[in-house]
C-alpha cells in the first residue's frame, strides 16, 4: 500500500501518477515495466517515488487497485440466492462482459488487472492485491457452487478444477482481446465475451441425464 503521505497529494496529481503507472504495467507486465519510464512520464524524481511507495510492487498494487476502482470491480456483486437455472448463465455472462465494456475507451484499465492475474501466487499475497484477488476468486467460487446447486454446472468434478478450467478459458480470451483491442468496437468485445462464456457453459453444463440422476439419488 502507498504510504499515507501519498493520500495527501492533490487528487489530480495522485491520479496522474497512478494512471501513468497503470499504463506502463498494462503495456509491459510487472517484470517488464520500467519505474524510470513511469517517473519520467509522471514528472517525478526517484526520491519522490520512494517517498510515496515502498517499492515497485507497492506502486503496481496501487495502480491495479486504481484500475479496479475505475471499472467498479467492487460493484460486481450478485444475489446468489435469487439466481435460477434460467438466469444463472445470463448473469454469469453479464459479470464477465461488464468490466470489458467499462474499459473500452481505456483498455489499459483491463490490461493492468490482467497483468496482476499473471503474477505468481506469492506476489499476490501483498495488499492491496491480496484483497482484490480474494474478492474475485470468492465471487467466482460462489458462482460455481451456486451453479452446481441449480444443476447449471456439472458436479462430477472438484470446484477447484472447474475454477481452473474457467481461468484457462478466461485467460486465453483476455490475451486475444488485449492483442486485438484497437481493431474492435464495443459490440465485437461484447460478442467475444459472450462467446467465451458460451464456451465455459458448454464445457461445464451437466451431461444429459446427470441432473435427473442426482435428484433420484
Read off the pLDDT of residues 57-81 as tens digits, 9 standing for 90 and up.
889 999 999 999 998 876 777 899 9
Burial class (CB in 10 A: 0-12, 13-18, 19+), 179: exposed
Task: Please determine whether the domains at 4-70 and 73-216 fall in the same fold group of CATH.
Answer: yes
Query: Where do the structural domains in the chain lie, given as residue ranges?
Result: 4-70, 73-216
Query: Structure pTM?
Result: 0.81
Which residue has better confidence, 215 or 160? 160
| CATH code for the structural domain at 4-70 | 1.10.357.10
Gap between the Cα atoms of 153 and 144, Å rounded: 7
The CATH T-level fold of domain 73-216 is Tetracycline Repressor; domain 2 (1.10.357)
List pLDDT tens digits, range 83-133: 999 999 999 999 999 999 999 999 999 999 888 887 777 776 777 777 777
Contact 89, 197 (CB under 8 A): yes
Q: For residue 201, count other CB atoms closer than 10 A to its CB.
A: 16
Position 216 scores a pLDDT of 39
Amino acid at each position: 500500500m502507498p504510504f499515507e503521505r501519498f493520500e495527501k497529494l492533490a487528487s489530480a496529481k495522485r491520479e496522474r501518477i497512478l494512471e501513468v503507472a497503470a499504463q506502463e504495467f498494462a503495456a509491459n507486465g510487472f517484470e517488464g515495466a520500467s519505474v524510470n519510464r513511469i517517473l519520467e512520464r509522471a514528472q517525478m524524481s526517484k526520491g519522490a517515488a520512494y517517498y510515496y511507495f515502498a517499492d515497485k510492487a507497492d506502486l503496481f498494487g496501487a495502480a491495479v487497485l486504481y484500475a479496479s476502482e475505475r471499472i467498479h470491480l467492487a460493484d460486481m456483486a450478485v444475489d446468489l440466492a435469487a439466481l435460477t437455472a434460467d438466469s444463472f448463465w445470463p448473469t454469469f455472462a453479464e459479470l464477465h462482459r461488464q468490466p470489458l465494456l467499462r474499459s473500452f475507451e481505456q483498455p489499459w484499465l483491463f490490461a493492468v488487472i490482467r497483468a496482476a492475474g499473471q503474477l505468481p501466487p506469492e506476489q499476490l499475497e501483498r495488499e492491496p492485491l491480496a484483497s482484490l484477488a480474494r474478492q474475485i476468486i470468492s465471487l467466482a467460487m460462489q458462482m460455481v457452487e451456486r451453479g452446481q446447486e441449480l444443476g447449471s454446472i456439472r458436479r462430477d468434478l472438484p470446484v477447484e478444477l472447474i475454477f481452473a478450467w474457467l481461468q484457462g478459458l478466461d485467460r486465453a480470451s483476455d490475451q486475444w482481446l488485449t492483442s486485438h483491442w484497437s481493431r474492435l468496437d464495443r459490440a465485437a468485445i461484447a460478442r467475444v465475451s459472450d462467446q467465451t462464456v458460451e464456451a465455459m457453459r458448454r464445457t461445464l453444463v451437466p451431461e444429459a441425464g446427470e441432473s435427473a440422476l442426482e435428484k433420484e439419488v
